[in-house]
Structure 1
Amino acid sequence: MRIKFLSVILSFLLMSIAISSCLDSDENYEYSSDATIRAFGIDTITKGVYYKFTIDQLKREIYNVDSLPMGADSIIKRILINTLTVTGWVTSGLNDTVFNMNDSVDLREPIKLKVHAADGITTREYTIKVNVHKQDPDSLIWREMPSLPASPASGKQKTVVLNENLLVYTSTTTAYRTSISNPASIQWGNLITISGLPSDAELTSIINFDNQLYTTVGGKAFYSDNGINWKEMDTQGMYMVTFLAGIPANDVTGSKSTLTGIFAKDGKKFFCAKSIEETTWRRGEEEVSTDFPLREIYSTVSTNKSGIKQTVLVGNTDATIEATQTWFAKDELNWVNLSGEILCPITKNPSIMYYGNLFYIMGGEFNTIYSSSAGLDWGEAATKFRYPTEIKVTSGEKEDDEKTIEYISLFKDKGDYSLAIDANHYIWIVWNQDGSVWRGRLNKLGFKQQ
């Protein structure tokens, strides 16, 4: 019992010494000098939509990479900053008043916030800037550019993009050329003399593949690396009818860039293909369908959710068809007709593009642009995605009748054309009738990534 009693007394003595030591301590505590903003965010702009903000600690700037939609100024005029993570406190304004997150702020112009570290000495000032689109991202904007010095000769011309040049072939011996490195300002020079192309070459069959141009005439094939000087290429005895499209390389499937076409044998037509690494043409065994396009072919490339690139084309055919047909490259030697429940109406001289994550078809009388999400079912494109128009307002017969507003396409009935799209997503259209040149682009495809 005495031993247990002594151990209890010893324990109390040790605790007393420890408590006394703590009470007598004069140790100084150091407060954090961290004056950085660790996280920042604002309230929702539209229903449930939050925009992510980037914090540049070196420049002490906070901004949103993805700009807010056009018209958001009315929302950010009075909005809450709902996320502001610091270790100390924040002040704002000329008098450095303590920032209250329960008060709304006006973010239409940049504001400054000063972060005070817990040590009461260290401070860092941040500039908050909210980016807002000044243009409607979903609008297709057109601009008339300088016309060709002279209208193309009789027959159809062809417009192609080669590197940073826009080439317009007006005949098999002449072409106009302009640099599009600065799309806002183009200058057409004098006619360029083309060499090496037979006089009966089909200009409308010219395609661009791997930074070279290709075309066919009389069963022969020709190519050019600058668009001016053309040479005959070896088709290994095949009677080449037309080239179709260049199928780009695909990292997912491991396939290489491939040039595709159609050749004729014993009165029948077959598909053929040759990649950039192959020395011989591969020849398909399945006969080309009679309704497959052979003239004025336009192709485009889309990328599906799996990252696989898909080539789709349209063109003119000699067969009688009830709708504009789109054809998908199942592989280099097999093309499949994409037929959904809602077909694209008959469009003379159709052109196709995969543009802004949708397929579009232009052509015909140039009244309507048709769109499709997958190239199967088609409908009229959104109102904002239209040809350049003039607005015609007609008053009602009676004073109380509403006015009728009609949008008339400036391209209506302009006739034959050719179209090309450059690396900056500009759509270039050149018209045979008067040599006029137009340039269009979907606004959101021109927004700079910050």
Structure 2
Amino acid sequence: MKSKTINIAVLLAALFSLVSCLDTNDGDYVYTDDSAVTAFSVTSAKKTVHVKASNGADSVYTTSVKLSAYKFVIDQQRCVIYNPDSLPYGVDPTKILVSANSVNSGSLVLKSMTSDSLSYLSTTDSLDFSKPRELQVYSLSGAAVRKYEVRVNVHQEPADKFNWTKLPNPTAFTSARGVKSFVVTTASGTTRRFLLASDGTTTTVYRADGDNAWTAATPNFNHPLAAETYRSAAVKHDTLFVCDNGVVMATTDGNTWTQQTTAEAGVARIIAANPIRLYAYNNEGVMLSSDDSGKTWKTASIDESASLLPNGDIAYATLPLATNPNAFRTLLIGSVPEASTTAFSVWGKIDEGTAYSENQPWMFYDHNSLNRHELPLLQNISAVAYDGKIMVMGNDERVFLPKFYTSCDGGITWQTDSVVTAPTGFFVSGAYTACVDSNNFLWVVNGNTGETWRGRTNRLGWKKEQYEYYE
């Protein structure tokens, strides 16, 4: 009983002390001077959408889109708020809804675009952010204010539109019967294009740096290249390799060439390359591979009969794997004149650059009646890696407008590309070629006229801002 009485007394004493404290400090609050914007986003906006009807007519409509997924960066040091990834093309920046938070729920006010007047930031009324706006945040004490510049970036061009530009016609060559083009990156980081053009008697090497016109290279060997040498070339590690009458040579500028092997090595035609290996045929049609930039060669393993290897018009393309940038998928695409098929022969190979990785064989993509999207036979084919896909350019027989086919599954199925189409007026009646540079420009060259076009999907040219940093 005595213990319970003591406990009750202690509780009553604590209660009276709390009441005493409340009575003494009633109304005595201290407000913070801290002020900062802690979050900002565009929640929704009006967007103009352009669509094409089934009859080809253009139509336009306006819709409301949710945009909360677009992150805004708050640079507290410079007091700038902006979105590194611009809002989609067609968004109306004059009518957007925003949301913002501040430290300790400080007051957020927006300065007028035409005067110094201020108004509380509304999250329910549409606002005009077509120009940078000043956003102010006041501390709870009212003694501190911080001013931010808010920039709402909106794309000024549609993401998936492909635009072509025609370069001035060169005078370096015309009437080539066969052409192949390649791109390398120079030691200084610029792009250099090579063109191998055959007139039916010899092959001539042309080069162009950046956007410059084609000029004939001046090789440091004193013999002409054979007429078919243009078909026996590939690029590995920003070096162009060609096989001329069995001799493998390499160059980075088109002028200075280094002999890699002699004719005794047995190389007849270079057919493909990736950053790890070169591939070629020997005189018997056996596939060879080289791990040392063409100095030595050995038989490459394949999982089907060599009779299925393409031996007519051949193109190749190499793409790094999405799951491993040090591994590369290479496709070898071409015709087999002896085969009675309406589709190209497609082979695939994955090369890994890691130590002790297994060297997998080339795999033949078997013709299957269930595959309704095989790559059809085309003329004047070129293959490139573009926008994370393999793209093939070529034309149907007696059709003078090239087509573009793309594969998103490593070359198994193919569809007519919905974004890239031939340049307007680019009609061909002979050889032409395509290549892609490190700036995502697709180049096409008409061998008959020298006409050269350059194009790119808009979003592949957009600068990617860095907004995440790690130690």
Q: TM-score, normalised by structure 1?
A: 0.80
* Alpha-carbon contact 1:162-1:227 (below 8 Å) kept: no
Query: Which shifted more, 429-438 or 411-420?
Result: 411-420
Residue 3 of structure 1 and its aligned partner are, at CA, apart by: 8.7
Corresponding residue for residue 430 of structure 2: 415
* Alpha-carbon contact 2:203-2:229 (below 8 Å) kept: no
Letter in 2 for 1:259: L
**Residues 232-381 of structure 1 mapped to structure 2, 5 A cutoff:** 232-234=259-261, 237-248=264-275, 257-264=276-283, 268-276=284-292, 280-284=296-300, 286=302, 289-294=306-311, 297-307=314-324, 308-320=327-339, 321-330=341-350, 334-338=361-365, 339=367, 340-364=371-395, 365-374=400-409, 375-381=411-417
2:272 aligned counterpart, secondary structure = strand
Q: Return closer, same or farther for 1:9/1:322 CA change in 2, 3 Å cut-off.
A: closer
In 2, distance between residues paired with 1:372 and 1:285?
25
Letter in 1 for 2:193: L
Residue 11 of structure 1 and its aligned partner are, at CA, apart by: 5.7
Corresponding residue for residue 248 of structure 2: 221
Corresponding residue for residue 398 of structure 1: none
Corresponding residue for residue 436 of structure 1: 451
Letter in 2 for 1:138: D
1:77 aligned counterpart, secondary structure = strand
In 2, distance between residues paired with 1:160 and 1:237?
27
2:153 aligned counterpart, secondary structure = coil
In 1, distance between residues paired with 2:305 and 2:263?
20
Corresponding residue for residue 141 of structure 1: 163
Corresponding residue for residue 403 of structure 1: none
Cα deviation, 1:392-447, whole Å, max 9, x if unaligned, reads xxxxxxxxxxxxxxxxxx22334211222111011112212111111111111111
Residue 111 of structure 1 and its aligned partner are, at CA, apart by: 2.0
In 2, distance between residues paired with 1:9 and 1:150?
107
* Alpha-carbon contact 1:36-1:115 (below 8 Å) kept: yes
Q: Return closer, same or farther for 1:85/1:357 CA change in 2, 3 Å cut-off.
A: farther
In 1, distance between residues paired with 2:127 and 2:206?
55
1:20 aligned counterpart, secondary structure = helix
Residue 55 of structure 1 and its aligned partner are, at CA, apart by: 1.6
Choose the corresponding residue for 1:64, options 62, 78, 83: 83
Q: Return closer, same or farther for 1:241/1:33 CA change in 2, 3 Å cut-off.
A: farther
Q: Return closer, same or farther for 1:187/1:238 CA change in 2, 3 Å cut-off.
A: closer
1:104 aligned counterpart, secondary structure = coil
Residue 237 of structure 1 and its aligned partner are, at CA, apart by: 4.3
Q: Return closer, same or farther for 1:437/1:28 CA change in 2, 3 Å cut-off.
A: same
Query: Which shifted more, 234-243 or 431-440?
Result: 234-243
Letter in 2 for 1:315: G
Choose the corresponding residue for 1:80, options 71, 85, 97: 97
Corresponding residue for residue 127 of structure 2: 105
The number of residue pairs the alignment matches comes to 411
1:157 aligned counterpart, secondary structure = strand
1:66 aligned counterpart, secondary structure = coil
In 2, distance between residues paired with 1:362 and 1:271?
25
Corresponding residue for residue 354 of structure 2: none
In 2, distance between residues paired with 1:92 and 1:316?
66
**Residues 376-415 of structure 1 mapped to structure 2, 5 A cutoff:** 376-382=412-418, 384-389=419-424, 410-415=425-430
Q: Return closer, same or farther for 1:6/1:447 CA change in 2, 3 Å cut-off.
A: closer
* Alpha-carbon contact 1:312-1:327 (below 8 Å) kept: yes
Corresponding residue for residue 132 of structure 1: 154
Choose the corresponding residue for 2:208, options 178, 181, 190: 178
Letter in 1 for 2:260: M
Task: Tell me if 1:206 matches 2:222.
Answer: no
Residue 229 of structure 1 and its aligned partner are, at CA, apart by: 2.7
Query: Which shifted more, 129-138 or 371-380?
Result: 371-380
Letter in 1 for 2:414: W
Corresponding residue for residue 230 of structure 1: 257
* Alpha-carbon contact 1:283-1:333 (below 8 Å) kept: no
Corresponding residue for residue 401 of structure 1: none
Cα deviation, 1:309-356, whole Å, max 9, x if unaligned, reads 311132354334411333211556732233543122221121122312
1:55 aligned counterpart, secondary structure = strand
Letter in 1 for 2:138: H
In 2, distance between residues paired with 1:115 and 1:86?
9
Residue 285 of structure 1 and its aligned partner are, at CA, apart by: 5.4
Q: Return closer, same or farther for 1:158/1:3 CA change in 2, 3 Å cut-off.
A: closer
Q: TM-score, normalised by structure 2?
A: 0.77
Residue 368 of structure 1 and its aligned partner are, at CA, apart by: 2.6
Q: Return closer, same or farther for 1:27/1:161 CA change in 2, 3 Å cut-off.
A: same
Letter in 2 for 1:220: V
Cα deviation, 1:152-178, whole Å, max 9, x if unaligned, reads 465423332232222334466754433
In 1, distance between residues paired with 2:13 and 2:251?
100
Residue 14 of structure 1 and its aligned partner are, at CA, apart by: 5.7
Cα deviation, 1:290-321, whole Å, max 9, x if unaligned, reads 34234553322234453343111323543344
In 1, distance between residues paired with 2:295 and 2:194?
29
* Alpha-carbon contact 1:316-1:348 (below 8 Å) kept: no
* Alpha-carbon contact 2:272-2:279 (below 8 Å) kept: yes
Task: Tell me if 1:150 matches 2:172.
Answer: yes
Choose the corresponding residue for 1:193, options 203, 208, 218: 218
Residue 283 of structure 1 and its aligned partner are, at CA, apart by: 1.8
RMSD between aligned residues: 3.1
* Alpha-carbon contact 2:218-2:254 (below 8 Å) kept: no
